[in-house]
Amino acid sequence: MSAASQTGDGPPKKTKEPKNKAITQQTLPACKPVLEPVWVVFIFLAISMVLVPIGAVCLFYGLKAVEVGARYDQICLPGKTNAEREQHILENAANDTNLACSVTLTIMKDMKAPVYVYYELNGYYQNHRRYVKSRSDMQLAAQSKNLATSLCDPEEYLGGNSSFPINPCGLVAWSFFNDTYNILRERNGVSLLLPVSDHHIAFQSDRKYRFANYTPQNFNPELNSHRGGFNLSDTTGGATPGENERFMNWMRLAALPRFRKLWGRIELDLKTNDTVTVNVYNRYNTYKFDGQKSIVLGTTTWLGGRNPFLGIAYLVTGGLSFVLALLYLIVRLAKPRKFGDPASLSFNRQPGAS
């Protein structure tokens, strides 16, 4: 670590004298924000000033969106227990009409188009490790590289026969949600079948990059024995992964066991006191695992669907900041301390030391 430094105008003399550099002498120019009490209060208030208005705005828009929905898995089927209901759907596997039922929703507040149609599942672990892993993004995007279905275990081959590789493979695709809905609006006694669009209900980037148009192979040729899992067809949203946006939404996993997926979009307004009747083909087996199924209609604002949480969180945090400012002021007033007072140094307070 010896540094040659030149002293004076003599010949360069080798010395071990360390160079006078700010970085090694630890004298780098530095800013030291030492907060005086007024600054502390100011900071708390400033945070509060920023957060509270944002919170107000968020709350406003979070509440502006309208949401209406109803759980239907229990009421749609006869039977007292889920086991009986499951029995029912398994027995009527071939006959969808026996599974149909209708749910009536009353619109309490105007809903401007577009009105989004969601199904909501509860108790469904899309975030289970086995479930999450069992898919092949490359296959879905029809990219030539790494088409192997090995990632998809256990839904890799149809019937376990390796000559029938499944495409799209994996548990997620295999368990594709298969309830369908017809939605009727009754306004002033006039009933109208609302057209439910399934276009542009998936993320644009998904439509563009992640799902390709190809004909599925060996993909749920029939409903699986658990009475869940759908195939892709023109009648139910699109025959290829790249066309079927409901499939895309299904493939976007949910982080928690209670989740919604966008099923369709209604381009007509719903008015207060309208009655909406949803005719459900209740095929999907949530009874085995005591899950719940709901149908939800909702509108959005720029901030998203109805969700006051963000606004409240902002308001609480901003309010907390304000309270802390007051608390700090009280502390400050109750026990004032001179700024930079050497008398507050602990070693100055002790007897015997100077």
Partner 1 sequence: MVKEGVEDYKRYKLDKETNNKPVDVLDPATGQYVTRTWKDVRVGDIVIVTKDQQFPTDLLFLSSESEEGTCYIETMNLDGETNLKIKQAPDDTKDFPKAAFAEFRDAVIECEGPNPRLYQFTGNLLIGGKTMPISPSAILLRGCNLRNTDVAVGAVIYAGHETKIFKNSAPSPSKRSHLERHVDKIIIFMFSLLFSFCICGAVYFAIWTRDKSPKHWYLAPTDTSHQYDPTSPSFVGFASFITSFILYGYLIPISLYVSIEMVKIAQSMGFINNDRDMYHAETDTPALARTSNLNEELGMVNTVLSDKTGTLTRNVMEFFKCSIAGVAYGAGVTEIEKANALRKGTILDDREQPGAAQYRERFYNFYDARLMGDAWNSAHDPGTVEMFFRLLAVCHTVVPDGPTEPDTIKYEAESPDEAALVVAAKVFGFFFFKRTNTTVVVRERTARGEVDVEYEVLNVLEFNSTRKRMSVVVKEKANEKIIIFTKGADTVIYERLDPKYAPNDAMKESTSKHMEEFGAGGLRTLCLSYTEVDREWYNNTWMPEWVAAKTSLTDRDRLVSEASEKIEKDLRLLGCTAIEDKLQEGVPECIRQLALAGIRIWVLTGDKMETAINIAFACSLLTEDMHQFTISVYGVEEIEKAERDGDKVLAERLSHQAVAESIATVEQAMNDKAEGSRFAIVIDGKALAYALSKDLSPAFLRVGLRCKAVVCCRVSPLQKAQVTSLVRSHGDTTLAIGDGANDVGMIQSAHIGVGISGQEGMQAVMSSDFAIAQFRFLTPLLLVHGRYSYKRISRMVLFFFYKNMLFGVTIFAFNAFNGFSGQFIYNDFYMTLFNVVFTALTPIVIGIFDRDVDKEMALKYPGLYIQGQRNEYFNFRAISLWLLSSLYQCSVIMVFVLWGCRPTTSDRASGQPYSMWQTGVLMFTCVVVTVHFQVVQITETWTWAHHLSIWLSQAVWWLYLLAYGVFPLYFSTDLYNLFVGIVSPSAQYWLYVLLVPAACQLPDFFLRMAQKQLYPADHQVVQEIQKKLQREGRSVADERGQVAPSILASIFSGKPNKNKGFVPPYDSRSRFYGLVSSSARNTGRIDTGTRSPVLTHLDQELTDNPYRNRKKSPLPGIAPGPRSPTGPAVMPVAEGMQPSGHAGAEMASASAVAAGRPVLPPIASSPPGAHKPGLGHADLMPSNGSDAPAHTSVPMHHALALAPLPPRTKLPPIHQTSPNAANSSLAPGAIASPTSGPLALHQAVNEHKQEMEAAYAAALR
Q: Using CB under 8 A, which residues numbered 123 to 152 contact partner 1?
A: 124-132, 137-138, 141, 143, 145-146
- Contact between 94 and partner 1 by CB under 8 A: the answer reads no
Q: How many Å apart are CA 124 and CA 286, to the nearest integer?
A: 8
Q: How many Å apart are CA 314 and CA 58, to the nearest integer?
A: 8
Residues 13-32 that bind partner 1 (CB under 8 A): 15-21, 23-32
- Contact between 47 and partner 1 by CB under 8 A: the answer reads yes
- Contact between 12 and partner 1 by CB under 8 A: the answer reads no
Q: How many Å apart are CA 105 and CA 68, to the nearest integer?
A: 7
- Contact between 180 and partner 1 by CB under 8 A: the answer reads no
Q: How many residues bind partner 1 (CB under 8 A)?
A: 123
CB of 191 to partner 1, least distance (A): 25
- Contact between 45 and partner 1 by CB under 8 A: the answer reads no
Q: Which two tokens stand for residue 321?
A: 């900041």
Distances (CA, A) of 194 to 133, 216, 238, 340, 341: 37, 30, 19, 73, 75
Site string for partner 1, 57-76 (x = CB under 8 A): -x------------------
Residue number, 24 or 272, with CB nearest to partner 1: 24
Residue number, 21 or 273, with CB nearest to partner 1: 21
The answer to whether 156 and 165 have CB atoms below 8 angstroms apart is yes
The answer to whether 34 and 49 have CB atoms below 8 angstroms apart is no
Residues 248-267 that bind partner 1 (CB under 8 A): 249, 252-262, 265
Q: How many Å apart are CA 184 and CA 266, to the nearest integer?
A: 11
**Strands, DSSP E only, in 87-245?**
100-106, 115-122, 180-187, 190-194, 196-197
- Contact between 247 and partner 1 by CB under 8 A: the answer reads no
- Contact between 298 and partner 1 by CB under 8 A: the answer reads yes
CB of 66 to partner 1, least distance (A): 12
Site string for partner 1, 181-200 (x = CB under 8 A): -------------------x
Residue number, 202 or 280, with CB nearest to partner 1: 202
Q: How many Å apart are CA 13 and CA 46, to the nearest integer?
A: 58
- Contact between 153 and partner 1 by CB under 8 A: the answer reads yes
Q: Which two tokens stand for residue 37?
A: 């009490």
The answer to whether 236 and 180 have CB atoms below 8 angstroms apart is yes
- With contacts defined by CB under 8 A, name the span among 35-43, 97-105, 181-189, 236-244 that binds partner 1: 35-43
Backbone angles phi, psi at 223, to 5 degrees: -60, 140
Q: Which of 70, 93, 100, 313 binds partner 1 (CB under 8 A)?
A: 313
